[in-house]
Chain A
Amino acid sequence: MTRYVMVADLRRCVGCQTCTAACKHTNATPPGVQWRKVLDVEYGDYPEVHRVFMPVGCMHCADPPCMHVCPSTATGQRADGIVTIDYDLCIGCAYCAVACPYQARYKVERRTDAYGEGRATAQEDAGFDERRLGVAQKCTFCADRIDAGTARGLTPGVDPEASPACVNACIANALQFGDLEDPQSNVSRLLAENRHFRMHEQLGTEPGFYYLWGN
């Protein structure tokens, strides 16, 4: 079996948003839609205060609330753990967006472009996908890249052509991706060697997104 997960090393992340931008390029998301982004978080009170950068997005939960509330079975889950949205089945009710504890889902009703109506760039024209209007959308773990890569015998998380764009782009090597079921994978090794947590773990959603914070 395979269970793809993301690992974000909070010791490494500098909040630069390179992953955010790379995701927007690769997935051609419209302005304001960020399947991947990095939160800038403060905790504590002056002067005992800390600042931490946390990459977030769809957590590809093992037990995804978004899927359970979906009335049209548009949200599904692959055998490898990736939570999917079938745009053809989605009726745009947005129950999933409300149910997601990670605010990872977006819904866009009409086309918007960076520089306003009627001023779309050639890049935006090339990336525009009408099927995404009026439906839920979110991070796919770049499933299309994974599938195309694995079909060529490549390994997700190791070979760039089989890995999510955010992982490839991360300049701090904070984002890692791989198969949790493979004890030799980079993510398995990182989780074995470091302290880690998952966001809102108490909700029992079993996120496929781990945060490292020390060893």
Chain B
Amino acid sequence: MAEPAVQSRKVPTYCYQCVNGPDMLTVEVVDGVATRVEPNFAGKGCHPADGKVCVKPYGLIQKLYNPNRILKPMKRTNPKKGRDEDPGWVEISWEEALDTVGAKMRAVREAGLMDENGNPKFAFSTGGAGTPICYMGAFPALFAAWGPVDLSLGAGGTVKCYHAEHMYGEQWHRAFTVLPDTPLCNYIVAFGNNIDASGGVTSVRRQADARVRGLKRVQIEPHLSVTGASASEWVPIKPKTDSAFLFAMIHVLLHEHAENELDVPFLKQRTAAPYLVAPNGYYLRDPATRKPLLWDLESSAAVPFDTPGCDPALSGTFSASGVEDGADGQSWEHAAVSVKPAHQLLLERSAEQTPEWAAGITDVPAATIRRVADTYLKEAQVGATTVVSGREMPLRPVAVMLGKSVNNGWGSYECVWARTVLQTLVGALEVPGGLLGSTTLVVGPEYDRMASCVPGPDGFMDHPFHPTDKEHWKAQPEVRHGHSTLIPATGNGLYAQPLGSTSIAWMRLQGRGAETWPKVKPPEIWFVYRCNPLISFSETSRMGETIAQFPFQVSFVYTMDETSHFADILLPDCTDLEGTQLLRLGGTHYFEQMWDTEGWILRQPIVAPQGDARDFSWIATELAGRAGMLEEFNNMVNFGVCGIPLKTEAYDFALDPAQPHSTEAIWDAVCKAASFDVTGGKSAEGLDWYKEHGFRLRPFPHLNWYLHPRMEDQGLRYELPYQERLMRIGHQLEHRLHESNIHWWDQQVAEYEPFPVWKDLNKLWGDAYERNFKVKIDDYPFWLLTARSMQYAWGGNVGIQLMREVAENVAGHSGIMLNAGTAQRLGIAEGDTIRVTSPVGTTEGRAFPRQGCRPDVIVMVGQFGHWKTPYAKEFKMPSLNDLVPMTMDLVDGTGSSVDAVRVSIERVGGAA
């Protein structure tokens, strides 16, 4: 008898386990079993990496079938919470679980959404820079319908992100994240930028293509990273000294080369370099229009910045009249006062910051710094042009890239500023070959960067700063970290709360920091999804004690984990390969996701959900009904929270607000609207079409990779180099805070400098340690750093055996990397157990000596230290996070801090 024919099919779906998503893949299903992941070959030619996905989604099948999954809702029966408490989990029905959660929500709604401190009673924490939203189906509509939700209890964001780039990048060139125009770029100066591990498939592919073409990259970082491996040169810089290297590069360009070697037309027309700065540090302005003035070399007079036909001076000192507008309406009238263009001030402030000065700080020879700067200038090809889609533009194939740890905490303002100034000096900002921004999350909309580029004050782009004037400043924090009160640049967009300072939220819950504000109460309801702050935040052991105080925690889980150990209710949601959701695809988005197409892509159930796992859209609908907000929830779905409005003047696929709708019905409507969008109204195929075809695309204008045409057409300038607006905001903020008797933010407010002042960060760290912990910094002689694990990062996949197996092929996934010479000096052999100690924590791990590591640095890759997550708890891998102190002294002006920590090490045991 013949065997029955094997039933095999390939199902298209997406992966969005990191910010570089969504990417395309297919899953082969054989006789109803998901067997293997493959690229989606239909993506060839329309996806920048031809439909391929990175290593992480290959773990999704094991995630689906992981025997450690929680497949039924559970409730806690032991009211005591703690690491050593047994929660007493009991399986319950979905009915009971939803009734319990829904009743809590209803009770809060009836009693009022805000607590007596003015903070939301409902909080939600997630990880992955918000990417879990791409697995939550229609759930965001529940949040939107609810009202104020506290998102400030972060799981790692503002410590483990590119915070300074997010904040300043968006203001300066709509760059929540930046990228080189890799296909055209010839020279990249990368300070710890680990793009091969963090940039997803598109970055890896573009960078690899560029290297073969001849792109050179200098990798400046304390340990030779995965990305450093493919660099042309490794420069092992001393940790936290990157700004000195960058400042010295500015010096070389300004003081060791003639002005006409720079992109003078760009500086004059596209930046604030010629704006005249008056005696009090603010721009000199035209008294009538309040427009900043510049010195016109043609007429030898100060004229408004937008005067047609003028030739502004970049250097020199001039005598001019006008007004100067300071903070809080303060104004000075000047007659024939001495003023200088911002560029002149830049010349003066960079005069002493020579490569020789930087060499003593960075431990990098002056000749190396000078050579890198000279090469950067030469490779910029100032004066060259190219044509993109019929438009002639400058071609400036150079970029300076910054890594995560350079972008966070003290010093990051200096670095991001200096990097962006370096780009402007050679005209390599937002032009072909140069440094570009990608997505816009502060200003928005996320999927239309060009639309975010609109005129604001003084010839610059607009930016949604929170008000700092006396009348409008938000003295009362809106959420627990008080972003709208303390950090004006966060704006009010969807990403405002995950910015700011999540450290402050946690410190306040622990009764420290922000001492003039009342100790905050925990949220009455805390939802947690795809994050594990007990592993991924700082001082993680202490955080457990904090979370144990939360009265009602709902964790959406696929296996048990450290944070869920403290939950009251566990809800098993569909994993990546079980749920349904439609997302926008392509365009320009995060890091190097630069497409020539845009459209929509579907995630769909590859197989039926395992056990009692349920789709998030179903969970949201059920909870909305029980919380008494079904109509509001449906209205939000119709409004467009699922990615696109379901009703416009052109079409109507809206759902009946009064009725609950199935997951399929919700996404069928979204699919129809998306089809209408992507085809320009020619079709309206629904869910079935996307289930079969996976994605739908249309061309995306290549010109929209660059902000330059839009800036040029609107006559706008990049708000560089001088930060007059930030200085004014800083002064106003300082006034408001002091009026409120708040002095604990003084260090941070002091950072609103028009030119960031170089700080000795090694001294700053030493002082902070000695002040906060009463220790001697010399007793902690090593910098402990971390590095991105491509295999694990953001996937929530630490419990997946396949990821563990393949990650161990990459150095650092089995132990702590340290310099081989250091190891020898300390009598440490490979595999020995070493103890690593900071003032707030201790951890142990196996030593892994490497040559590619500075002698004063040790490295712990990824984030481990699990004690509850099945499988991962057997790793015996150390955690850097528990050693990272949370203290206001290490929070910078934008609220961020960094997971670099000074430590001591000692050998405590031989190899196992």
Contact = CB atoms under 8 A, between A and B. Distances in A.
Nearest to A11: B211
A91 interface: no
* Residue in A26, A45, A46, A171 with the greatest tally of chain B CB atoms within 10 Å: A171
Contacts of A133: none
B810 A15 contact: yes
Interface in B585-614: none
Interface stretch (B28-36, B494-502, B668-676, B693-701): B28-36
Nearest to B871: A115
Contacts of A142: none
A107 interface: no
Given A40-B811, A172-B204, A121 B67 contact: yes
A14 B204 CA distance: 8
A18 interface: yes
Contacts of A115: 66-68, 801, 871
Contacts, number: 163
A189 interface: no
Contacts of B208: 9, 11-12, 14, 172-174
B35 A127 contact: yes
Contacts of A209: none
Interface stretch (B301-309, B374-382, B481-489, B845-853): B845-853
Given A15-B226, A38-B809, A46 B58 contact: no
Given A9-B212, A52-B229, A171-B201, A123 B54 contact: no
A126 B68 CA distance: 19
A121 B68 CA distance: 11
B810 A122 contact: no
Given A25-B58, A51-B228, A168-B39, A173 B791 contact: no
A40 B810 contact: yes
Contacts of A39: 809
Contacts of A119: 67
A12 B212 contact: yes
Interface in B191-222: 196-197, 201, 204-205, 208-209, 211-212
A38 B61 CA distance: 22
A123 B853 contact: no
A25 B196 CA distance: 23
A37 B810 CA distance: 10
B264 interface: no
A153 interface: no
B31 A126 contact: yes
Contacts of A127: 35
Contact of B196 (A14, A46, A168): A14
Interface string A2-32: 0000000101101111101110111010011
Nearest to A32: B805
Contacts of B811: 40, 42, 51
Contacts of A9: 208, 212
A190 to B, nearest CB: 10
B357 interface: no
Contacts of B261: none
A52 B802 CA distance: 23
Interface in A158-175: 160, 165, 168-174
B55 A18 contact: yes
Contacts of A123: 33-36, 61-62, 65
B157 to A, nearest CB: 24
B557 interface: no
Contacts of B52: 18, 169-171
Interface string A31-53: 11010011110101111011111
B234 A17 contact: no
B66 A21 contact: no
A127 B236 CA distance: 46
A27 to B, nearest CB: 9
Nearest to B236: A47
Interface residues of A, number: 50
B406 to A, nearest CB: 20
Contact of B852 (A15, A51, A165): A51
A98 interface: no
Nearest to B59: A21
Contact of A126 (B30, B54, B62): B30
Contacts of B49: 171
Contact of A37 (B229, B809, B852): B809
Contacts of A89: none
Nearest to B852: A49
A52 B854 CA distance: 18
Nearest to A116: B67
Nearest to B820: A46
A42 B851 contact: yes
A172 B39 CA distance: 13
Given A47-B236, A49-B224, A53-B229, A114 B801 contact: yes
Contacts of B54: 16, 18, 171
Contacts of A17: 55, 791, 806-807, 809-810
Contact of B37 (A22, A121, A172): A22
Given A11-B211, A171-B54, A51 B229 contact: yes
Interface in B23-65: 30-31, 33-39, 41, 49, 52-55, 58-59, 61-62, 65
A190 B58 CA distance: 29
B33 A46 contact: no
Contacts of B212: 9, 11-12
Contacts of B61: 25, 121, 123
A92 B437 CA distance: 57
B34 to A, nearest CB: 6
Q: In the complex, which of the residues A12, A28, A44 has the most CB atoms of chain B within 10 Å of its own CB atom?
A: A12
B885 interface: no
Contacts of A45: 851
Most chain A beta-carbon contacts within 10 A, residue among B31, B65, B819: B65
Interface string B62-78: 10011110000000000
Interface string A94-129: 000000000000000000001100010111011100
Contacts of B37: 21-22, 25
B851 to A, nearest CB: 4
A17 to B, nearest CB: 4
A168 B59 CA distance: 17
A16 B810 CA distance: 8
Interface in B781-804: 790-791, 801-802
B324 to A, nearest CB: 50
Given A115-B67, A173-B209, A15 B34 contact: no
A171 B55 CA distance: 9
B227 interface: yes
A192 to B, nearest CB: 15
A174 B802 CA distance: 22
B55 A16 contact: yes
Given A37-B809, A49-B851, A15 B802 contact: no
A47 B55 contact: no
Given A126-B30, A172-B204, A114 B226 contact: no
Contacts of B39: 160, 168-169
Nearest to A14: B196
Contact of B851 (A24, A25, A46, A160): A46
B230 interface: yes
B657 interface: no
9 contacts: A17-B807, A20-B809, A39-B809, A44-B851, A49-B234, A51-B229, A160-B41, A172-B205, A173-B205
Interface of B: 30-31, 33-39, 41, 49, 52-55, 58-59, 61-62, 65-68, 196-197, 201, 204-205, 208-209, 211-212, 224, 226-230, 234, 236, 790-791, 801-802, 805-807, 809-811, 819-821, 850-855, 871
Q: Which 4 A-B pairs have the closest CB atoms?
A: A121-B65, A21-B58, A25-B36, A114-B801
Given A21-B806, A171-B201, 15 more contacts: A9-B212, A14-B197, A18-B52, A18-B55, A20-B55, A26-B36, A37-B806, A40-B809, A40-B810, A115-B801, A123-B62, A125-B33, A160-B38, A168-B41, A172-B205
